[in-house]
């Protein structure tokens, strides 16, 4: 079940909200736990057992750490066991075939890949459950003594499948002490509609353009067609993922939770370092808190600090998928950030903002080529085409057709990826004259109506980050 489906919007969500606000407050976490398991089981009922296992393991390890704080050595063993169990499950389901294929290539063995279906959202909820035991060990959060409340945290359906990654310490107090109110509920509805519009009206439509270009032989593409294709993918993945994050945050607001912000207009960045402070913020925060800083961060000398950065970016690439193109993608950005830290930071500061922005967008688009093509050879061919290496023409009739038929959509995507629309809406909303204020509210109904109309009519409705 996905948020951008009629069964979720028309049936599941209204029923859950109605029951949630009717029942006594003490049963609300239980309801969230149960409906979240139902939501997850809609696509993969067998993997509920895996989620139960993760819930019980980390609930138990967190309790053991809290009860044996005086025994530092024992506590460290418990934390380590939690990390090992969680990462073992993640590696088994996500990376076993990747490892087997690699071993077959190196050792010339013939081990048969397991071909195990990847549990949806396992990368997200595995990181969340690990954060609980670590946060309790660090005394950054209190131990959760109610397994139902902890289960609600692990399985919370708004952010279960594709994040954002919620660290336990960020939500610990809200699990037991949240107080829902009408203003928060209204903000949640608006944020959900914004995310739905991003996903359905922008990401899905611009994704169709990328699908057309990606499915065309590279030998038949012109240079500008290649550029317009990867720009379309960049818009698709941004509005797909940020739209999901907005919907997740909006849904959580309806149930009284406040989640961390996951995107902050990354395409307005003036450096790659800044880009990764604005894109998938919850993942970057997780790796900084639980990998980079424990490794020593930048406090252990320049060389080891750079080593720690490369480790984090290697893991970031692997987190996104069990394929060498993701490893290469992670190292690509890791190396760029290292170069910025050592050589480019002062140079970039002196450049005109437009030049800095062009620098960022160009490198990000090249990175998205590595990200989108699992076949690294084809990915490099596409990059060579983008920079004009080979016999490809600068433009052709296909480019002209794609450009003119999608110019309005790409303009909307460009505006939507900047703070301009948000600032304009906020400015109008704060105007005292009601004739201006009431312009805004109907716009949400228009976006909702158009999104539902699209869902009813369209067959193309993927969520890209479900596979991560």
Q: Which two tokens stand for residue 73?
A: 């050595």
**∠ Cα 318 323 328 (to 5°):** 65
Q: What Cα–Cα distance (Å) separates residue 221 from each residue in 234, 397, 405?
A: 18, 10, 17
What pLDDT, on a 0 to 100 scale, did the predictor assign at position 98? 86
**Of 245, 260, 247, 258, nearest in space to 180 by CA:** 258
Q: Residue 59: which H helix or E strand, with range?
A: helix 48-67
Is the Cβ–Cβ distance between 230 and 365 less than 8 Å? yes
Region of 280 (left: φ > 0; alpha: ψ -120 to 50; beta: rest) is left
Q: Choosing from 68, 320, 352, 377, which is the catalytic residue? A: 320
Q: Is 280 a catalytic residue?
A: no
What pLDDT, on a 0 to 100 scale, did the predictor assign at position 33? 93
Residue 331 contacts by C-beta under 8 Å, 6 or more apart in sequence? 310, 313, 314, 317
The DSSP-derived string for 114-171 is --PPPPTTHHHHHHHHHHHHHHHHTTSS-----HHHHHHHHH-HHHHTT-----HHHH
CA 291 to chain centre: 18
What pLDDT, on a 0 to 100 scale, did the predictor assign at position 346? 82
What pLDDT, on a 0 to 100 scale, did the predictor assign at position 467? 55
Region of 261 (left: φ > 0; alpha: ψ -120 to 50; beta: rest) is beta
**∠ Cα 463 467 468 (to 5°):** 110
pLDDT tens sequence for the chain (468 residues): 788 888 888 899 999 999 999 999 999 999 999 999 998 888 677 788 888 888 899 999 999 999 988 888 899 999 999 999 999 999 998 888 888 888 888 877 888 888 888 888 888 888 888 889 999 999 888 999 899 999 999 989 888 877 788 888 888 889 888 888 998 999 999 999 999 999 999 999 999 999 999 999 998 999 999 999 999 999 999 999 999 999 999 999 999 999 888 999 999 999 999 999 999 999 999 999 999 999 888 888 788 888 999 999 999 999 988 899 999 999 999 999 999 988 887 888 888 889 999 999 999 999 999 999 999 999 999 999 999 887 779 888 999 999 999 999 999 999 999 988 888 777 766 655 555 555 667 788 888 888 888 888 766 666 665 555
What pLDDT, on a 0 to 100 scale, did the predictor assign at position 222? 92
What pLDDT, on a 0 to 100 scale, did the predictor assign at position 317? 93
């Amino acid at each position: 079940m996905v948020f951008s489906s009629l069964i979720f919007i028309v049936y599941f969500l209204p029923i859950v909200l109605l029951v949630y606000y009717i029942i006594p407050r003490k049963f609300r976490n239980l309801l969230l736990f149960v409906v979240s398991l139902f939501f997850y089981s809609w696509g993969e009922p067998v993997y509920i057992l895996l989620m139960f296992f993760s819930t019980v393991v980390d609930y138990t390890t967190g309790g053991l750490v809290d009860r044996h704080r005086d025994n530092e050595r024992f506590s460290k063993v418990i934390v380590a066991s939690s990390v090992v169990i969680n990462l073992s499950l993640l590696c088994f389901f996500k990376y076993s075939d990747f490892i087997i294929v690699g071993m077959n290539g190196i050792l010339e063995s013939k081990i048969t890949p397991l071909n195990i279906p990847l549990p949806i959202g396992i990368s997200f909820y595995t990181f969340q459950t690990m954060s609980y035991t670590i946060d309790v060990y660090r005394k950054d959060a209190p131990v959760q003594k109610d397994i139902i409340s902890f289960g609600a945290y692990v399985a919370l359906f708004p952010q279960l499948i594709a994040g954002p990654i919620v660290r336990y310490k960020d939500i610990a107090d809200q699990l037991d002490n949240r107080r829902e109110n009408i203003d928060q509920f209204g903000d949640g509805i608006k944020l959900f509609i914004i995310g739905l519009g991003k996903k359905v009206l922008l990401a899905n439509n611009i994704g169709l353009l990328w699908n057309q270009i990606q499915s065309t032989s590279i030998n038949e593409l012109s240079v500008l067609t290649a550029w317009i294709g990867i720009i379309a993918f960049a818009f698709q993945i941004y509005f797909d993922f940020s739209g999901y994050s907005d919907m997740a945050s909006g849904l959580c607001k309806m149930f009284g939770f406040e989640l961390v912000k996951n995107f902050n207009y990354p395409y307005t960045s003036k450096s790659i370092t800044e880009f990764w402070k604005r894109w998938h913020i919850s993942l970057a925060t997780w790796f900084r808190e639980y990998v980079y800083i424990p490794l020593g961060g930048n406090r252990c000398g320049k060389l080891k600090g750079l080593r720690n950065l490369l480790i984090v970016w290697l893991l970031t690439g692997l987190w996104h998928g069990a394929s060498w193109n993701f490893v290469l993608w992670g190292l690509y950005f890791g190396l760029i950030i290292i170069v910025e830290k050592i050589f480019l930071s002062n140079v970039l500061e002196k450049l005109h903002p437009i030049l800095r922005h062009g620098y960022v967008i160009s490198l990000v688009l090249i990175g998205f080529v590595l990200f989108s093509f699992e076949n690294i050879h084809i990915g490099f061919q596409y990059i060579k085409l983008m920079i004009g290496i080979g016999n490809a023409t600068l433009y052709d009739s296909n480019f002209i057709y794609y450009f003119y038929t999608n110019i309005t959509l790409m303009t909307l995507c460009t505006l939507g990826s900047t703070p301009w629309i948000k600032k304009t809406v906020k400015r109008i909303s704060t105007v005292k004259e009601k004739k201006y204020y009431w312009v805004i509210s109907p716009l949400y109904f228009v976006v909702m109506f158009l999104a539902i109309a699209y869902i009813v009519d369209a067959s193309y409705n993927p969520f890209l980050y479900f596979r991560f």
